[in-house]
Structure 1
Amino acid sequence: MSNEIILVGAGHMGYAMLEGWLGAEILKPEQVVVVEPAEALRDRVEEHGCAAVSSAADLGDDLKPQIIVLAIKPQMMNDILPDYKRFGAAETTFLSVAAGTSIATIEGHTGPSPVIRVMPNTPSAIGEGMLGVFANERVSDETMQFVDQLLVTSGDVVHVEREEQIDAITAISGSGPGYVFHFIEALTEAAKAVGFEEDTALLLAKQTIYGSACLAMESENSPTELRKQVTSPNGTTAAALAVLMEGDAMTKLVTRAVTAARDRAVELGK
């Protein structure tokens, strides 16, 4: 695929995706045109050799992008999408990373078009993300294969069969880093409560979460089996888990949190 890709938005997520594409040499700088109103963000894009403009009005009339990547906030979609209606055709695929913005909403502005919804998360910025993908029936197999090449530079990719599952992925892996970061905060405060200074408490919490996540990914054992392995009868871990697991308290709380996030993603799409 030699035609241009238009990247709309070069903020945290858009820029991270761009770096992944270029770093993996899947795209050359001259294949990407970035639309970004902020001058400072345009400047760092141009340092990579990519063309950057401040608005869709500055895009050339002869431009025929293969893919338009919408890396903008969902609240901005209805204002920005009309500027790209001229690209709405079977030859251009729209790839959206905006939470809650449905394919129907996008097509309402672009007309019937190939559309792919992607839900990344913040670890995508370091190539360790979890990305959920749903494509409508207008997306060609060739385009989907190419998009998968782009996405795996940001992390692992899972395809879902129904669009509403993207809202569930938003609640689990999209918002999930926030839950993990809060647990790190809580574990840090607990470490301070039993006598450690801030820096040591934070290191203990972060490295424990990081190491445990790495072990869970690399081990052939399930998280349940790993939990049992570290839990000696009547030991320290058992004493702690008796609190966390009493009445399935943590599972119920996390399920409530995920459901609330999923419901909010649905609301954003209305």
Structure 2
Amino acid sequence: MTHPRIAFIGAGNMAASLIGGLLARGVPTARIVASEPHAEQRQRIAAEHGIAVLEDNAAAAAGADIVVLAVKPQVMKDVCLALAPALPQGALVVSIAAGIPCASLERWLGEQAIVRCMPNTPSLLREGASGLYANARTSAAQREQAGELLGAVGLALWLDEEAQIDAVTAVSGSGPAYFFLLMEAMSAAGQRLGLDAATASLLARQTALGAARMALESDVDPAELRRRVTSPKGTTEAAINAFQAGGFEALVDQALHAAAHRSAQLAEQLGQ
């Protein structure tokens, strides 16, 4: 099987995680190239992954089957306008930049097959969760290629509507920070209960990992798992009751709606 030639425009952390995931799945180094404006980062990525890393975006994109846009949203417009004349005809463009809608990418790049993705930071450990949306010009084969690309660093799920990207951003894109916040709060509470800082922190982090694995590997949903560990009149029930008395579910709903609303705002601002 011939692997597509993949060009990464921008070689930051998320691009590096995707490159590492692709190489781990057997994609030859010769089929991956990247561009990066900073010399130190070019040298680091080339040394770590054994791929060619160029300074010029157009040179990197030349002859590519898939062009991955991995630059900051604030510079995406300028990068796209400069790159458009050099894009190979029929290439698939995959954007992993937050807040840039397909309509804006189409306006800046021309008539291209475009897949917009919302990955999250656990992709750096190949434990990511990504939502993907394809425009009408994207073929079934290109959708499969995009799915394999993001699947190299974790879960990749297709969305029916681009507006759902805002919900993905709220749930999984920003989601790791919510769990970090909970771990912080649990660790601090543990210290107030008499544990030393290192013990409280390690217990909170390991518990989060164990709970996540149980939820992913179990054949029942999290609500049932919660019920199974909540004995009547026991310690867990006391804690759950305290959470719910404080409006836990409503607060989570409010927080995710705020994140989704901000995602939509950024898309409107950055896509001009």
* Residue 141 (structure 1) aligned with residue 150 (structure 2): no
Letter in 1 for 2:54: V
> What aligned pairs does 1:1-270 form with structure 2 within 5 A after superposition?
2-25=3-26, 27-47=27-47, 48-56=49-57, 59=59, 63-88=62-87, 90-246=89-245, 249-270=247-268
Q: Which sections of structure 1, spanning at least 5 residues, go unmatched? A: none
Residue range with higher mean Cα deviation, 158-167 or 82-91: 82-91
**Contact 2:116–2:132 (8 Å) recurs in 1:** yes
Q: What's the offset of the Cα at 1:79? A: 2.2
Cα distance, 1:3–1:83 mapped onto 2, change above 3 Å = farther
Question: How far 1:52 sits from its partner (Å)?
Answer: 1.0
Output the CA distance in 1 between the equivalents of 2:262 and 2:212. Answer: 27
Stretch of structure 1 that moved more, 135-144 or 88-97: 88-97
Segments of 5+ residues of structure 2 without an aligned counterpart are none
Determine the C-alpha separation between the residues in 2 that align with 1:60 and 1:42.
13
Q: CA deviation at 1:97?
A: 0.7
Give me the whole-angstrom Cα distance separating, in 1, the residues matched to 2:211 and 2:5.
Answer: 41
Residues 60 and 50 (structure 1 numbering): CA distance in 2 closer, same or farther, change over 3 Å? closer
* Contact persistence 2:7–2:60 (CA under 8 A): no
Percent identity, aligned pairs only, is 38
Could you tell me whether the CA contact under 8 Å between 1:10 and 1:71 is conserved in 2? Answer: yes
Aligned-partner Cα distance in 2 for 1:142–1:222: 33
Letter of the 2:252 partner, please give it: V
Structure 1 stretches of 4+ with a deviation exceeding 3 A read: 87-90
SS in 2 for 1:245: helix
Provide TM-score, normalisation by structure 2: 0.93
Let me know the Cα RMSD of the aligned residues: 1.6
SS at match of 1:234: coil
CA offset at residue 2 of structure 1? Answer: 4.8
- Compute the displacement of 1:11 (Å): 1.0
The alpha-carbon deviation at position 55 of structure 1 amounts to 2.9
One-letter amino acid of the structure 2 residue matched with residue 258 of structure 1: L
